Amino acid sequence: MLKLAMIQSFVNIAENDSSCEMYGSPEVSLLSKEGDFIIGGAFSIYSQTSVINLREFRFVQTMMFAIEEINNSSELLPDVSVGYRIFDSCGSTLPSTRAAMGLMNGEENTWSKNCSSVHAVIGASESSSTIAMQQISGVFQIPMISHFATCACLSNRKEYPFFFRTIPSDYYQSRALAKLVKHFGWTWVGAVRSDNDYGNNGMATFIEAANQEGICVEYSEAISRTGSRENVERVVRVIRRGTASVLVAFLAQGEMDVLLDEVLTQNLTGLQWVGSESWITANYLAKKRYAGILTGSLGFAIRKAKISGLLDFLLKVNPGQDPQSNLLREFWETTFGCSFGSSTPGTKSCSGFERLQDANNAFTDVSELRISNCVYKAVYAVAHALHSLLKCGPSAYLGKFMAAFVFFYLKVNFTLQSGEQVYFDDNGDPAATYELVNWQRNHAGDVVFMTVGKYDASQPNWNQFTMNKVKITWAAESWEKPLSVCSENCLPGFRQAIMKGKPICCFSCVPCAGGEISNTNNSAECSQCPSEYWSNVNHSKCVPKVIEFLSYGETMGALLTAFSLCGASLTLVVLCVFFRFRHTPLVKASNSELSFLLLFSLTLCFLCSLAFIGQPTAWSCMLRHTACGVAFALCISCILAKTITVVMAFKAKRPANMFPQCSAPLQRTSVIGCTLIQVFICVIWLAFAPPFPHKNIVYANEKIILQCFLGSPLAFWVVMAYIGFLALLCFILAFLGRKLPDNFNEAKFITFSMLIFSAVWLTFIPAYVSSPGKFTVAVEIFAILASSFGLLFCIFAPKCYILLLKPERNTKKHLMGRNQSRTQ
C-alpha cells in the first residue's frame, strides 16, 4: 500500500506537468482498439515538442500492423481478438508515468491494485521512460517488453523482474564500441552522452571496457535535450579544444539533435563520429544539413530486417481511418505541409486525399527496418505467450490475474516468417547481435548506411567482432583512416614509458636496453633475448651473439702465428748451425747433447703457442697448457743441467778428463727426472679435471667469448709454479757461476736468460688475470714467445756469433786462454 501511495503521489505531479503537449486529455490513449486481450503501447510520439516524430509514429503503426496480422492468423490465437491501447510517453519521465497510469486503469484517474486494463505493455522508446513505467506496471506484475530501451540496468531481475526487451542491452553495445575503437587503433577518444539512464549507464560501461582495452577517454561530457543552451555550448567548446580526433557519441536522438545544431553553429568539423544504435541509422540525420558532419560515421545498429506487407499497411494510413483522431490529422499535416480547415495565408489546405506514396520521409522509409522489427517481435512475443497461456484453459478462469500469468509464459522461443528466431534469456534480454554501419555516399550523392562488419556476443571473445571486406569512408569523406592517439606509436625497438600525472595512453618512447627487443608497435615492455642471443642494431630482433676467439684470420692472430713460426724456424736454423759445427771445440764445450735437446725443446715451445690460436676444441684445450708446461719443463731442465755441468766443471777438484764420464748420466737423469715430474702433474690434471671449451656469456653481454676453461685452476698454477721453481733453481746456480773465466762463461748468459724468463712470466700473471676475452689468450702466447726468444737469443746468439763470424775464436786454446793466463 505504501508503494501504491508513492506512485499515486508521483502521478499527481505528472498530471500537472505540461512539458509534453498531447492532443486530448493526458490520460486518454492516442490510438486504441478493443479486443479480448489488450496490449498497451508507449512511444515518444511528440518527444516534448508539438511536432510529431514520424519515426516513432512508424513504430506505432508497426505495432498495429503486427496485431492485425495476429488477428488474421488462423494458427496464432485463433478465435481470439487482440486489441491495443497506445499512449505517448513524450520521451520524458513524468509523461511516461502519466501514460503508465492510463495503461494500468484505462481511462480512469484512480488506482486499484487488483485490476489492469492491459495484459502486457510494448515500450517505451527511452530507458528512463521505461524505468519509470516499469516501476508502476511491475507493482501489478504486468510484463513490459521494450523495443528501444537498452540501459544495462534494466537487466537487473531484482529491480525489474517483469521487464523484457527485443533490443540487446547496452552492456554488449558498449563493449562492442570499445572493441571497435581498439580495432582501428584509436587509443585517445572523446566521449559525449545523454544525461539520462541510457547515456550515463552506457557510457560508464564503455569507459570500463575501454580501460580494459587500453583506450583512454580524454573527456566525457553529458548533455540533455531539456538542459540549458549554455551547457551544450560549453560541451562543444570542450570537444573543439580536445586533441582526440574520434568522438564516441552515446546519445539519444533528442540530445543528438541538440548537439548537432550547436556543432553546426560553431562550425566544428573533422571529427570521426562513433555512434550508438539510437542515432546511427536515423535517416533524418543523413540529410544534407548534417551530412557534411556525419558522413564517415561508424556505429553498431540492430540487424536490418524486412517485414512483408508493412509498407502497404503504412501507405493506407490516412485521417479518414479515424476522423476524430487529432494524431492522424497532425501526422497528415506534418507529412504534406498542409492544414485541415486553416485559412492562414500561405498555408495550403489538406484534402485528405494526398498520396503517401509521394511522400519521402521517416514514416514511409522501410529500407532500414531495425527498431521497427523490434516492435514487431515484441508484439509477437506477447501473442505467443497468450497462445501458450490459453492452452492451459479458458481465460475466464484466469480472471483478474491474467497479466501475471502472461509474464510466466513470456519465456518464448519462436521463429518469425522472416526466419529470425526470437527468445529471451534469464534476464529478459535477446541475443546480442549488431551490424557495424558506416555512413557512405552512393553514386547519387545520398548518404547510405553500409554494413561493414558485425558483432555477435554469443561467439568466443576473439571472434565476436568481425569486419567485411569493404572499403570504409572516414571522417570528412576520406579513404584514409584518422589517427587518434595521445602519443605517437612507439616503433619496434622502443617501449612505452608512462608519463607521470597523465593517462596510460600518454607515454614517451624509451629505447630498449642492450639485449632486449620489442618487435611490435607500442610494446609495454622490452623482452629479454635468450642467453646466447643479443639484440640487433634496431633492438627489434634477437640475433645470435658474435662468438669471439683468437683466430688465425684476424691481425693479432696472424702476427702471433708469424712470430711463432719465425721463432721455430730460427731455432731450427741454430740447430743446423750447431749440427754443422758439432765437432768444433765451442760446440763440444757447450755440451752438444744438451744443446741439441734444448734447441728441440725451444722449437716445441714456439710451436705449442699455435695451439692457443683458433677455435677452442676439446683436444686443443687439453693440449694448450699441458704441451706448453711439458715443453718449458724440458727446456728449463736442459738449461739447469747445462748450468750444473758448467759449475761442476770449473769447481771440480778431480781431473778434467774424468768429469765428462761422470756428468753425462747425471745430465740425462736430471733432465728426464725434472721433465717426468711435469708430465706426471699434467697427467693427473687431464685425468681428473681436464680443460674444456667454454662459452663465456658473463664477461661481455653482447658477445660470447669462446675460451678454454682450465678445469682445475689449481692444476694450472701448479704447472706454472713448477716451471718457476726450475727457473729459480737454474738462476741461483747460474748466478753462483757468474765469475768463471770470460772465454767460457756460459753461466753468465744463462743468468741473463733466466732474468728475462722470470720477468716475462712474473709480468704474465697480473696481465693474464686482468685481460678480457681473447686478449687472455694473446697474453699467454706473448709470454710463451717472449720467454722462448729470450732463451734462444741469450744462450745461443753469442755462440752462433763465434761459429759464423769469429771462427778464429772457436779453438780450445782460446776457450781456455783466460784460465791459462791466470794459472801462469
DSSP 176-221: HHHHHHHHTT--EEEEEEESSHHHHHHHHHHHHHHHHTT-EEEEEE
- The CATH architecture to which 24-142+307-340+352-419 belongs is 3-Layer(aba) Sandwich (3.40)
pLDDT tens digits, 771-820:
777 788 888 888 889 989 988 888 888 888 888 888 877 777 666 654 44
- The pLDDT assigned to 13 comes to 43
Q: Does the pLDDT at position 597 exceed 50? A: yes
Q: Does the pLDDT at position 114 exceed 50? A: no
- The pLDDT assigned to 82 comes to 94
Lowest mean per-residue pLDDT among 340-344, 587-591, 646-650: 646-650
Q: Does the pLDDT at position 741 exceed 60? A: no
Q: Does the pLDDT at position 22 exceed 80? A: no
pLDDT tens digits, 423-459:
999 999 999 999 999 999 988 888 999 999 999 998 8
Taking the CA atoms of residue 358, residue 360, residue 363 and residue 366 in that order, the dihedral angle to the nearest 10 degrees is 100
- The pLDDT assigned to 220 comes to 96
- The pLDDT assigned to 305 comes to 92
pLDDT tier, 649 (very low <50, low <70, confident <90, very high otherwise)? low
Total count of residues recorded for the chain:
824
Q: How far apart are CA 154 and CA 430, in angstroms?
A: 13
pLDDT tens digits, 365-408:
998 899 999 999 999 999 999 999 888 766 544 555 577 788 88
pLDDT tier, 758 (very low <50, low <70, confident <90, very high otherwise)? confident
**320 CB neighbour count, 10 Å cutoff:** 11
pLDDT tier, 306 (very low <50, low <70, confident <90, very high otherwise)? very high
Q: What is the mean pLDDT of residues 142-160?
A: 94
- The pLDDT assigned to 739 comes to 64
Q: For residue 164, which of 479, 409, 514, 416 has the smallest C-alpha distance?
A: 409
If one compares 595 and 818, the residue with the highest pLDDT of the two is: 595
pLDDT tens digits, 657-710:
444 444 667 778 888 889 999 999 999 999 999 999 988 888 778 888 888 888
Report the side by side order of strands in the sheet with 188-194.
216-223, 188-194, 246-250, 272-275, 298-302, 433-441, 447-456, 465-467
pLDDT tens digits, 212-265:
998 999 999 999 988 899 999 999 999 999 999 999 999 998 899 999 999 999
Q: What is the mean pLDDT of residues 527-555?
A: 90
- The pLDDT assigned to 2 comes to 37
- The pLDDT assigned to 189 comes to 96
pLDDT tier, 39 (very low <50, low <70, confident <90, very high otherwise)? very high
- The pLDDT assigned to 398 comes to 53
Q: How far apart are CA 668 and CA 706, in angstroms?
A: 41
pLDDT tens digits, 115-141:
557 899 998 999 999 999 999 988 888
In the CATH scheme, what is the code of domain 555-651+662-815?
1.20.1070.10
Q: Does the pLDDT at position 26 exceed 80? A: no
Comparing 24-142+307-340+352-419 with 555-651+662-815, is the CATH topology the same?
Answer: no
Handedness of CA 721, 725, 726, 731 (dihedral sign): positive
Average pLDDT, the chain: 85
- The pLDDT assigned to 245 comes to 94
- CATH among 3.40.1010.10, 3.30.2000.10, 3.40.309.10, 3.40.50.2300 for 170-302+432-477: 3.40.50.2300
Burial-class residue 698 by CB neighbours within 10 Å (0-12, 13-18, 19+): exposed
Q: Does the pLDDT at position 177 exceed 60? A: yes
DSSP 766-808: HHHHH--THHHHHHHHHHHHHHHHHHHHHHHHHHHHHHHH-GG
Q: How far apart are CA 633 and CA 787, in angstroms?
A: 13
Q: What is the mean pLDDT of residues 164-182?
A: 95
Q: How far apart are CA 708 and CA 694, in angstroms?
A: 6
pLDDT tier, 146 (very low <50, low <70, confident <90, very high otherwise)? very high
Domain map of the chain by residue range?
24-142+307-340+352-419, 170-302+432-477, 494-544, 555-651+662-815
pLDDT tens digits, 514-523:
999 999 888 8
Q: What string of H, E and C letters represents the secondary structure of 33-100?
A: ECCCEEEEEEECCCCCCCCCCHHHHHHHHHHHHHHHHHHCCCCCCCCCCEEEEEEECCCCHHHHHHHH
